[in-house]
A and B are shown apart, each in its own frame.
Chain A
Amino acid sequence: GENVEQHPSTLSVQEGDSAVIKCTYSDSASNYFPWYKQELGKGPQLIIDIRSNVGEKKDQRIAVTLNKTAKHFSLHITETQPEDSAVYFCAATLRYSSASKIIFGSGTRLSIRP
């Protein structure tokens, strides 16, 4: 069935360095790709999203790139800070008639070393 694969499962970077998380999806009809951040004990929160008619989107220190041909998209965090430590999830929509199911990757635990 349709799925979203996410790598790496854990990532540790030095404060100030960049972090990159990658995802691939299988449903060629997917057209919406959000990224969520989950802090300990809380529900996930949207941090950035991209639609299939756009190749790249940036919001301050975070950016997302999309390659529809290869069916993969990536999250880039620059100048990492301690508060970036969290679990990050990518997701993609699956379209069935008028409904949209949103399928998540398995998550990446990002740790920022001081």
Chain B
Amino acid sequence: NAGVTQTPKFRVLKTGQSMTLLCAQDMNHEYMYWYRQDPGMGLRLIHYSVGEGTTAKGEVPDGYNVSRLKKQNFLLGLESAAPSQTSVYFCASRGSGEAGELFFGEGSRLTVL
């Protein structure tokens, strides 16, 4: 059982380049989340989705876009990468209904030069 899988695990970009991070979950979860983790700042919510075809902004959405075309996948896009987006990105998912456990992927380390 794979759980939550993130690809790629590592990526180096130049300023202005674009890329997409893919999150896939095999638990039939309704809710999916993208967080970024920076030293001393914990996990900050970028965007989230409460179901296929829906997305919503989190705490730090600027510079990112997301899509949830299929229930099992949640894509995070950077249209024009900036050095401030250098971070470790985590995807998480959970079932619908009352708040409960988030299942996290292993993270994607992104460096923007």
Q: Using a CB–CB distance below 8 Å, which chain A residues touch chain B?
A: 1, 6, 9, 31-32, 34, 36, 41-46, 49, 89, 93, 98-107
Contacts and interface: CB of A to CB of B under 8 A. Distances in A.
B13 to A, nearest CB: 21
Residue with the greatest number of chain B CB neighbours at <10 A, chosen from A31, A42, A45, A101: A101
A11 to B, nearest CB: 15
Given A93-B99, A100-B99, A101-B58, A44 B43 contact: yes
Contacts, number: 61
Given A41-B106, A104-B43, 12 more contacts: A1-B59, A32-B98, A32-B99, A34-B101, A41-B107, A44-B102, A44-B104, A99-B31, A99-B50, A100-B99, A102-B33, A107-B40
A100 B35 CA distance: 15
25 contacts: A6-B42, A9-B40, A32-B98, A32-B99, A34-B102, A36-B102, A41-B107, A42-B106, A43-B4, A43-B105, A44-B102, A46-B102, A99-B31, A99-B50, A99-B56, A100-B99, A101-B45, A102-B33, A102-B45, A102-B99, A104-B35, A104-B42, A105-B42, A106-B42, A107-B42
B41 interface: yes
A24 B51 CA distance: 30
Contacts of B106: 41-43
A46 to B, nearest CB: 5
B104 A45 contact: yes
A43 B42 contact: no
Interface string B36-59: 000011111100101000001011
